[in-house]
Copies of this chain bind each other. A is one copy, B any other.
Amino acid sequence: MAQGFGFTLHAKDGAARTGVIHTTRGEIRTPAFMPVGTAATVKAMLPDSVRATGADILLGNTYHLMLRPTAERIARLGGLHRFMNWDRPILTDSGGFQVMSLASLRKLTEEGVTFSSHIDGSKHHLSPERSMEIQRLLGSDIVMCFDECPALPATEEQVAASMRLSMRWAQRSRDAFGDRPGHALFGIMQGGVTRDLREESATALKSIGFDGYAVGGLAVGEGQEAMFGVLDYAPGFLPEDKPRYLMGVGKPDDIVGAVQRGIDMMDCVLPSRSGRTGQAWTRRGQVNIKNARHQDDPRPLDEDCTCPACRGYSRAYLHHVFKAGEMISGMLLTWHNLHYYQELMAGLRGAIATGQLSAFVADFHARRAEGDIEPI
């Protein structure tokens, strides 16, 4: 619907899809993993390095950026792309989820939500209209509807009421967004783990009409089995010809399972956060570089990985710099993790394109089963 934005589906393998999202700032190969650049930086990485891992798009957080340095300041400085030196696509979330998880003194009404900043306690307000305004000021390429995600545990009635509020906010988001060539607006399906509510939400969103559709309200503590249970049917409620985005997911095996079930886009802080806490994800599982078993190990994290951490450094070195509290530890492990995630996405895309997804997934699980998985 948005000029300059489109989605081309190249191949399917079962429910899984591969294709390309076209934007005015470049193409996004799907399934895509989006590194998270919360406060206008993917932590411990320079943008050129993020790009070198294979990332086509970053995610920015409306909640963090509206508080500091503020959306208005970023707009005066030329927008988020210029501010953070990333000229490829950026998706921004709506702020709704993080208000619920980070802010204090929250007050929710039909109109929107007021809250206190977790940084300095200052008072702020978000609503569908204000979220659209902030995301416009940031200049994001893919804008997310302002939604509400109920705190768990929640009764089915609470989930239903919350979903219906989010659907009214989706209409207000659509109205406030207007027509902005080159910028896409995505709706967010809610409904918890209840099939009828998911279908009702999808029907409401489709009748409003969006450039893409997110599956929201998952990866919030329900567990992988429950999440996959929803993903077994929920993507099927959404239009075949629009991208489907699973928010906040996840671990490598979550990603593989989501792609198998028809998801095109994902984001998660896990690869970067893990990198800063000494955890590396590899094709053979996960490595906890803090473990003393690595202190004399001359091998790289992964013999076959081509990232700078694996090409240049031993596990012994990575253990040493982690223990010494050196920044290079977070820099190298984050780079490795993001590289691994993007390699995984490339592998999934290639497997879907050639109809080999089942074999790829079997190999993915087999390598991990024989690998050196360590307790975290």
Residues of A within 8 A of B (CB): 39-41, 43-48, 68-69, 73, 76-78, 83-85, 295-296, 298, 308, 312-314, 316-317, 319-321, 323-324, 326-328, 330-332
Other A-B pairs beyond A43-B328, A45-B328, A73-B296, 15, CB < 8 Å: A40-B317, A41-B326, A44-B331, A46-B308, A47-B312, A68-B323, A69-B319, A73-B295, A76-B296, A77-B296, A77-B298, A77-B314, A78-B298, A83-B320, A84-B317
Residue of B whose beta carbon sits closest to that of A45: B328
B317 touches A39 (CB 8 A): no
Closest 3 CB pairs of A and B: A85-B312, A69-B320, A41-B328
Cα of A45 to Cα of B328 in the assembled complex, Å: 7
A-B residue pairs in contact (CB < 8 Å), sample of 30: A39-B320, A39-B321, A39-B326, A40-B317, A40-B320, A40-B321, A41-B326, A41-B327, A43-B326, A44-B328, A46-B308, A46-B331, A47-B312, A48-B308, A68-B323, A68-B324, A69-B316, A69-B319, A69-B320, A76-B296, A77-B296, A77-B298, A77-B317, A83-B314, A83-B316, A83-B320, A84-B317, A85-B313, A85-B317, A331-B331
Q: How far is the CB of A315 from chain B (nearest CB, A)?
A: 10
* Contact B328–A46 (Cβ < 8 Å): yes
Residues of B within 8 A of A316 (CB): 69, 73, 77, 83
Contacts of A313 in B (CB 8 A): 85
CA–CA, A77 and B40, complex, Å: 38
Give chain B nearest CB distance to A63 CB in angstroms.
13
Q: Which residue of B lies closest to A78 (CB)?
A: B298
Pick from B298, B308, B321, B327: contact of A331, CB below 8 A. Answer: B327
Closest Cβ of chain B to A62, distance in Å, is 15
Query: B330 touching A327 by the CB < 8 A rule?
Result: yes
CB neighbours of A312 from chain B (8 A): 47, 85
Return chain B residues, CB-CB under 8 Å to A73: 295-296, 316
Chain B contacts for A85, CB-based, 8 A = 312-313, 317
The interface residues of chain B lying within 8 Å CB-to-CB of A40 are 317, 320-321
A41 to B41, alpha carbons, bound, how many Å?
A: 23
Query: Which chain B residues lie closer than 8 Å to A331 at the CB level?
Result: 44, 46, 327, 331
* A48, A308, A316, A324, most chain B CB atoms within 10 A: A324
- Rounded to whole angstroms, the CA-CA distance of A73 and B296 in the bound complex is 7
Chain B hits for A324, CB < 8 A: 39, 68
A115 and B45 alpha carbons, distance in the complex (Å): 39
Q: Is the CB–CB distance between A69 and B295 below 8 Å? A: yes
Give min CB distance, A38 to chain B, whole Å: 9
Which of chain B's residues have a CB closer than 8 A to the CB of A295? 69, 73
Residues of B near A332 (CB, < 8 A) are 46
Measured CB to CB, the closest approach of chain B to A66, in angstroms, equals 13
The chain B residue sitting closest to A324, CB to CB, is B39
Complex: chain B residue closest to A119, CB-CB: B324
Contacts of A46 in B (CB 8 A): 308, 328, 331-332
Closest-CB distance, A67 to chain B (whole angstroms): 10
Chain B residues with CB under 8 Å of A41's CB are 321, 326-328
State in angstroms the CA–CA spacing of A68 and B323 once bound together: 9
Given the complex of chains A and B, what is the CA–CA distance between A40 and B318 in angstroms? 11
Instruction: Kindly list chain B residues whose C-beta atoms are within 8 Å of the C-beta of A47.
Output: 312
A44–B320 CB distance below 8 A: no
- List the B residue with the shortest CB-CB distance to A85: B312
- Determine the chain B residues whose CB is within 8 A of the CB of A39 once the complex forms: 320-321, 324, 326
